[in-house]
Structure 1
Amino acid sequence: MRAPCERSERHRSVARRRWISRASWACLMAACLGGAAPPFVSSVSFAQQPGARQAPPPAVVVEKIEVQQVSNPAQFTGRVEAIEAVDIRARVTGFLHSVDFKDGQAVKAGDTLFEIEPDQLNALVASARAQVARADATRISAERSLARNRDLLARRTVSQATVDEVQAAFDVASADVQVAQAALDTAELNLSYAHITAPISGSIGRATFTTGNLVGPDSGSLARIVSLDTVRVAFAVTEGLLVTIRQQQASGGGLDPNTLKLSLRLANGTDYGTPGRIEFIENEIDPQTGTVAARAVFPNPRHILLPGQFVTLYVQEKDAPSLPVVPQTAVLQDREGRFVYLLGKDNIVSQQRIHTGARVGNGWAVTKGLDGGEQVVVEGIQRLAQGMTVQPSQGQPVGGGT
């Protein structure tokens, strides 16, 4: 009896589930039939949403094209040299009596630097003067003897041979006077060498000998004077650059040295404020380096430049042309060349072809295609196309020195 009851109960449960399922499908179909128009509209509205709600214009950054003086300076590594430098040496032998300067002192031409003990030299001068007096006395005696013998010859008292001998003695005595005078001049000159003075103005280095030391011509340099008011910067011009300059000169287009601006950058990165000028370019190429030596002259009133110092030399034209400068980030390139996007009326961008020249800071000098004052897109250019509307914001002007 229990088994038939269980089968009956299972049949009723299955029937209930089937009825619920049919009811659910009926409700769902009713809902679909009742709401068929809104879902379609909704689907249409999703399909039309891109047209109804367009994406905002792309945001870009623009800058105004500035006009600047543009030059492309040639850069060289130079070494400072002294135009005038003198090693002070002793020209006579003696003991140093005094050193009349301090190491590193500025001296002027004619200032006393060293004194060598003059006692021995004074004695030599006195001896030479005595020799001059002796020789002069001998000459006077020979001159008188010659005069007497000439009178005797006129009275035919002495022979001509005797007169000739007296004449020869007089000539020898006269020559001895000249020899003695030359010895005196030498002794006085050596005495003057005991007083050592500065031959040029400049800065003197340290004294290599102190008071009491024996010095002489073989002692080497006693000190060194370097003139610093005007210095020379030596640098090397490459063979290729020299050939280019020569070709320009041959065609009548060579550079005038007076139109060049020479400036220096020091080892600490600062610029030297005083400009220089070209002094000399060597007429031969060094076969080992393939360069030509050249020199420039710079005033150095504050003695900032010192001999042996390395500097960076820039050579450029004084009157450089003024050209528009476009930021480097604004320039694109394709097969046809370089171009930029300019912002026009109603925030519409247009493509502009340009020809670029020298680098100026973070930008390019434009030789053709821009006049200056235009608004150029510098950021967001990858998303742009001709005639596209954008949402611009102003950026910082491009920087760069000439």
Structure 2
Amino acid sequence: MAHANTAAPEGVPIHVARVLSQDVPLEIAAAGNVEAGERVDVKPRIAGQIRNVEFAEGQNVTKGQLLFSIDRDTMSRQQAQQQAELERDIAMEQQAVAVAARDAASQKQSQSEADVAVKLGDLGVLSGQSVKQAITASDTTRSSLQADQAAIAAAAGAVRADHARLSQIKLQLNFADVVAPIAGRAGAAMVKAGNVVLENDTTLVTLLQLAPIRVVFGVPEQSLAEIQRLSAAGSLEVEAGTGDNRLVEGHLDFIDNTVDPTTGTVRMKATFSNSNQALWPGQFVNVRLRLRVDPRQVVVPQSAIQQGLEGKYAWRIQSGFATMVPVTVLRTYRPTTSSQPGSEVAVLGSGLSPGDVIVTEGQLRLTPGSRVSPIDTPSGP
């Protein structure tokens, strides 16, 4: 006689995870744009012909590194001419000093003779006409000495002017070497050897500082008060995710002084060390501004949360059977260790406890009390 098949029915295949308790960061997500820490458009400070381009396009340059050299021939000739004028004016000043010394001696002698003539005139030894002649001669030599002193001052002024012009020419000669004002990455050279450039007119090359670098992003104005309060207490962490899933960390260092009325957001900036050059000027990145960390929160994979007519719920597994459990979801977030779609985590306010086993895939085939057959070992979100 045949026996009936008494094997237990197989359960619904499902994927499961275990409810965890962990610290959960409160973050604001935004789209950001990378901008250079500094940008400098290098322009010539003198006019002239480019003699050499001294760097490679796209090269990292250091502050003070030679970038371009401008032809010096014209200014060298001007320097030689000005040096000759300086030497001539120095000689004229020396000549004026010598003449003044000679006239000072003559004035001293004529003054002495005039003094003696006056005394002899008082005694009746010299006539009044002779006394007048001696006094006139003394006055003439005094006037000549004053003229000599004026000539010395004029010659000294000419020498000072020559020195100033010579110093200006030497300064311009130094400007013939165009050096990097900052350390950064050089863009394309806008001129080549042989091109003629004008003073403060032509942009020779643009330098961008890549380390450190900044990311600009906007956050909703509703979060402004809390961000201001927290940033006053200490630097807030900012994380930027690039297109190749690299994550870099920086800190918030700028909050704009106005709200954009068209978007309702506040512009902010974060600085990143960017030592590995993961961020590039003009690049779009995903930004997360971390406000705080909430300790010991109950978390589950977002895929475990279902929406029913009476609200959100999850399937809890006990002794091989599924039970529908209402849950309260406070918020969701994506862990920094994962950037894959579907990796979001739900933070629960009620309904489940750490250690519970819940269903993450296969819920559509479940009904309350269904027997289940987990495909995998329970793990955390």
Normalization by structure 1: what TM-score? 0.71
Q: After superposition, give the CA deviation of every residue in 1:224-262 in whole Å (9 maximum; x if it has no partner).
A: 22222221112223333324545xx3xxxx355746332
In 2, Cα distance between equivalents of 1:195 and 1:152: 55
The verdict on how the C-alpha distance between 1:57 and 1:224 changes in structure 2, with shifts beyond 3 A counting, is closer
* C-alpha contact 1:70 1:358 (8 A) present in aligned 2: no
Aligned-partner residue type, residue 293 of structure 1: R
Aligned-partner residue type, residue 391 of structure 1: R
Residue in structure 1 matched with residue 277 of structure 2 by the alignment:
303
- 1:358 aligns to 2:331 (yes or no): yes
Residue in structure 2 matched with residue 85 of structure 1 by the alignment:
39
Residue in structure 2 matched with residue 133 of structure 1 by the alignment:
87
- 1:224 aligns to 2:206 (yes or no): yes
The verdict on how the C-alpha distance between 1:299 and 1:382 changes in structure 2, with shifts beyond 3 A counting, is same
- 1:383 aligns to 2:356 (yes or no): no
Residue in structure 1 matched with residue 236 of structure 2 by the alignment:
260
- 1:215 aligns to 2:197 (yes or no): yes
Q: How does 1:38-57 map to 2 (within 5 A)?
A: none
Q: How does 1:3-402 map to 2 (within 5 A)?
A: 61=14, 63-155=17-109, 156=111, 157-158=138-139, 160-217=142-199, 220-246=202-228, 249=229, 254-255=230-231, 258=234, 260-266=236-242, 268-272=243-247, 274-287=248-261, 289-317=263-291, 319-327=293-301, 328-331=303-306, 338=312, 340=314, 342-344=316-318, 354-360=327-333, 361-376=343-358, 379=363, 383-384=367-368, 391-394=371-374, 396=376, 397=378
Q: Give the deviation of 1:183 after TM superposition.
A: 0.5
* C-alpha contact 2:320 2:373 (8 A) present in aligned 1: no
In 2, Cα distance between equivalents of 1:74 and 1:282: 17
User: Between Structure 1 and Structure 2, which shows a larger proportion of helix residues?
Assistant: 1
Q: Give the deviation of 1:275 after TM superposition.
A: 0.8
Aligned-partner residue type, residue 193 of structure 1: F
Q: Give the deviation of 1:297 after TM superposition.
A: 0.9
Q: Give the deviation of 1:392 after TM superposition.
A: 3.8
Aligned-partner residue type, residue 231 of structure 1: I
Aligned-partner residue type, residue 290 of structure 2: Q
Q: Give the deviation of 1:276 after TM superposition.
A: 0.8
In 2, Cα distance between equivalents of 1:333 and 1:79: 39
Q: Give the deviation of 1:96 after TM superposition.
A: 2.0
The verdict on how the C-alpha distance between 1:198 and 1:362 changes in structure 2, with shifts beyond 3 A counting, is closer
Aligned-partner residue type, residue 207 of structure 2: I
Aligned-partner residue type, residue 213 of structure 1: N
Give unpaired runs (5+ residues) of structure 2. Answer: 1-5, 112-137, 334-342
* C-alpha contact 1:71 1:358 (8 A) present in aligned 2: no
The verdict on how the C-alpha distance between 1:380 and 1:101 changes in structure 2, with shifts beyond 3 A counting, is closer
The verdict on how the C-alpha distance between 1:143 and 1:322 changes in structure 2, with shifts beyond 3 A counting, is farther
* Larger deviation, residues 100-109 vs 279-288: 279-288
Give unpaired runs (5+ residues) of structure 1. Answer: 1-52
Q: Give the deviation of 1:372 after TM superposition.
A: 0.5
Q: Give the deviation of 1:179 after TM superposition.
A: 0.5
The verdict on how the C-alpha distance between 1:322 and 1:216 changes in structure 2, with shifts beyond 3 A counting, is same
Equivalent residues, number: 333
Normalization by structure 2: what TM-score? 0.74
The verdict on how the C-alpha distance between 1:398 and 1:363 changes in structure 2, with shifts beyond 3 A counting, is farther
Q: After superposition, give the CA deviation of every residue in 1:241-297 in whole Å (9 maximum; x if it has no partner).
A: 324545xx3xxxx3557463321122x35123x311112112233455543322111
* C-alpha contact 2:236 2:289 (8 A) present in aligned 1: yes
Secondary structure, counterpart of 1:307 in structure 2: coil
